[in-house]
Amino acid sequence: MDYDGANLHPLTKDKSINLYPRFSPDQRSVMYTSFVNYWPKVFRQELASGKRQVLAAYPGLNSSATFSPNGKYVALSLSKDGNPEIYLLELRIGRLNRLTRNSSADTSPVFFPEGKSLLFVSDRTGGPQIYRLDLDTLSEKRLTFEGSYNTSPSISSDGRFMVYTSRMGSQNEIRLVVLETGQDVVLTGGPGNKEDPSFGPDIRHVVFVHTSNHQSNLRILDIFSREEYIITQDGGYATPDWR
């Protein structure tokens, strides 16, 4: 799909649920989680040929895979050793390294643009919150403190801003954190749920899912003016990735 909602065409045709698409840095392939055969697995698919390969099909959860900025690694969430944890897969040799170790669920990894750290979601304090993980030291730092249920982080291309989904009262909103200062602001309001934000190539625009009257559509949000632009109206959209 183009940024204005035009030229929509399917990449998968396996009559299954396919979620969490993430483009490779060279935009020649896409990873996603598929429930084909009723069991979540991570696939990588070439955009030109449609050829796909299984990257993770361990017992339990295989989900939320994302490419490193240099395209050499994949971070993903696996529950093969018990509870969901964050792992790092080296694509060339298939080596898998576990990055988090605790009794809670760790999911939704997102690389910083410099490739030396990543964001992830963990419910280790009760409800899910967003953390930053240093890939050299494996030290962790909590980033969200507003609200008790925060998920779906995305980071701007310059590494300055993070947007995420936050439960506020009876509905979800999009919030933004200025990473240098920790300032946390609400970007959306009004009726409906707002979820799954994804930064565009610039640092100004975010695509997200707006759900109202049982219809889930895509909107683009300007994080500075807070203007919203509706780009789909036919419903059924989830977990976008903007590249």
pTM: 0.95
Instruction: Kindly state whether residues 106 and 14 are assigned to the same domain.
Output: yes
DSSP string for residues in 101-147: -SSS-EEEEEE-TTSSEEEEEE-TTSS-EEEEEETTT--EEE---SS
* Dist CA 238 CA 243 (whole Å): 16
* Dist CA 238 CA 224 (whole Å): 24
Q: Which of 99, 119, 142 is the last residue of a domain?
A: 142
Instruction: Kindly state whether residues 11 and 90 are assigned to the same domain.
Output: yes
Q: b/e per residue, 88-115, with b = 16+ CB within 10 A?
A: bbeeeeeeeeebbeeeebbbbbbbbeee
pLDDT for res 37: 87
What do you get for the CA distance between the two ends of the chain, in Å?
10
Percent of the chain with pLDDT over 90: 95
Q: Which of 142, 173, 189 is the last residue of a domain?
A: 142
Instruction: Tell whether the model's pLDDT for residue 15 goes beyond 90.
Output: no
Half-sphere exposure of 128 (CA within 13 A, CB side): 18
What pLDDT, in 10s, does the model give residues 200-213? 999 999 999 999 99
Closest C-alpha among 90, 87, 124, 139 to residue 109: 87
What pLDDT, in 10s, does the model give residues 57-81? 999 999 999 999 999 999 999 999 9
What pLDDT, in 10s, does the model give residues 118-152? 999 999 999 999 999 999 999 999 999 999 999 99
Q: What is the CATH number of the domain that holds 67?
A: 2.120.10.30
